[in-house]
Amino acid sequence: MNKELNGVGIIGIGSAVPEKILTNADLEKMVDTSDEWITKRTGISERRILDKDTPVYELGVKAAQKAIEDAGITAEDIDLIIAATTSPDYLFPQMACLIQAKIGAKKAAAFDLNAACSGFVYGLTVAQNFLLNGQYKYILVIGCEGLSRMVDWEDRNTCVLFGDAAGAVVLGAVDNKYGILSTHIGADGEMGNVLTMPCCYITEEDIKVREHENKKVMWMDGQEVFKFAVKIMEQASLKVIEGANLSIEDVNYVFPHQANTRIIDGALKRLGMKSDKIHPIIQKYGNISSASIPVALDEAVKEGKIKKGDNLVLVGFGGGLTWGSALIKWAK
Ligand code: UT7
């Protein structure tokens, strides 16, 4: 969707990560890996891991409360909660409903959205349309993940990559010419088998065809995802830059999904952008899926990097395969 879309933007933002840190040195004791391999191939030094007694949605509660406070509203003002997640505690009650109850957003409708690591951008796009058509005034979009609960801790190909975190935004009306100027979402289901997480009710027949699904943990063909990611991040970024009638030179910051430093570098190179357009968090949090864009954005805002009027590209890719991008003129 690339029509004129001024007047809806982020009016509050917050994030939360668990306290427990798992370093590359810790992982060396768990699987056949090394700090050198992980740092060189991914850019990750450590990640945050939820303790086993804390539900994943608690991170979403903390991030949501901070975003609501930052927006200067109360939980009771929220009309809709969208929880973008690929690692919910339950299929139902949905994460969005668990968060709704805990924060006391009594009048809000609530649902989960699963577009894997693209989920936050998908959520922004859905929310923007509810706001533009006048149905709702305030929408909470949360990217909330506990990927440590889903990875195979014996598989070095995946367990070194992921972490737990949540980031949340409140979307509402902003001055004309600010806010979300263009969005783009897409999917290629034919490539879905390169990144999979089977459900508990997968059939025996499916498991015979794809043996790795027997373990009911995350599985990934890293190189296929890598190639796809570099290409799609470039294409999706260009799409929203053009959609907002801007050029690459007008972009102040890019907030990519942070899965691997080499993927980000590759995409930036294709776009002809320098690495100082990024606020890196992957080194300390790993791949936090749908939380990676809002957590990085929140930290960049808190550090004073983002100014009113800055043009930000948010761009994600992930399981499905899916992708999504948004061009936001920062309104706060
Ligand atoms: O959020 C969206 C989902 N995920 C992604 O976007 C991830 C995309 N893919 C990637 O980031 C990279 O493909 C990986 C980081 C997953 C892997 O990096 P790579 O450079 O593509 O490595 P590779 O898969 O080609 O493996 C190279 C070698 C292999 O050994 P051999 O066959 O050359 O002897 C692997 O077995 O590295 C080995 N390897 C490891 N070695 C030490 C794989 N994982 C590890 C490990 N530690 N953790």
Cross-strand bridge partners of residue 255? 314
Over residues 120-136, the pLDDT tens digits come to 999 999 999 999 999 99
For the segment 147-152, the average pLDDT, to the nearest whole number, is 91
Q: Is 311 left (phi over 0), alpha (psi -120 to 50) or beta?
A: beta
Statement: residue 213 has pLDDT above 90: no
pLDDT (0 to 100) of residue 178: 95
Closest by CA position to 18, among listed 279, 304, 288, 298: 288
> Catalytic positions, please?
117, 257, 287
How far apart are alpha carbons 326 and 6 in whole angstroms? 13
Query: What separation in Å is there between the alpha carbon of 24 and the centre of ligand 1?
Result: 15
The response to whether residue 223 sits with its C-beta less than 6 Å from ligand 1 reads yes
Indicate the pLDDT class of residue 198, thresholds 50, 70 and 90: confident
Residue 212: predicted pLDDT: 75
- Taking the CA of residue 158 as reference, the ligand 1 atom at the shortest distance is 16
286 pLDDT more than 60: yes
Q: Going edge to edge, which strands form the sheet with 109-113?
A: 8-16, 164-173, 139-146, 80-84, 109-113
- The pLDDT, as a whole number, for residue 77 is 98
Give the pLDDT confidence score for residue 203 in this predicted structure: 78
Question: What pLDDT does 6 receive?
Answer: 56
Predicted confidence (pLDDT) at residue 95 exceeds the cutoff of 70? yes
Of the residues 24, 41, 162, 265, which should be mutated to test ligand 1's pocket, given the most ligand atoms within 8 Å of the CB?
A: 41
In the reported structure, the alpha carbon of residue 222 is separated from the centroid of ligand 1 by a whole-number distance in angstroms of 6
> Residue 200's pLDDT is what?
72
Q: Give the closest residue (by CA) to ligand 1 atom 42.
A: 33
Q: Average pLDDT for residues 270-292, to the nearest whole number?
A: 97
Q: How far is the CA of 7 from the centre of ligand 1 (A)?
A: 43
Alpha helices in the chain (DSSP H): 24-28, 35-42, 57-71, 95-103, 119-132, 156-159, 204-209, 222-243, 261-271, 282-285, 292-302
Q: Using CA positions, which residue lies closest to atom 47 of ligand 1? A: 33
Q: Is 217 in the pocket of ligand 1 (CB under 6 A)?
A: no
**Of 149-158, 186-195, 287-296, which gets the smallest average pLDDT?**
149-158
At 254, the pLDDT band (50, 70, 90 cuts) reads very high
Tens of pLDDT, residue by residue over 3-40, are 444 599 999 999 999 999 999 999 999 999 999 999 99
Question: Does residue 321 have a cis peptide bond before it, meaning omega lies within 30 degrees of 0?
Answer: yes
Nearest residue (CA) to ligand 1, atom 11: 260
Please tell me if the CB atom of residue 287 comes closer than 6 angstroms to any atom of ligand 1: yes
User: Per the omega criterion (within 30 degrees of 0), is the bond before 280 cis?
Assistant: no
Of 139, 12, 141, 9, the C-alpha closest to 77 is 139
Asked if residue 293 has its Cβ within 6 Å of ligand 1, the reply is no
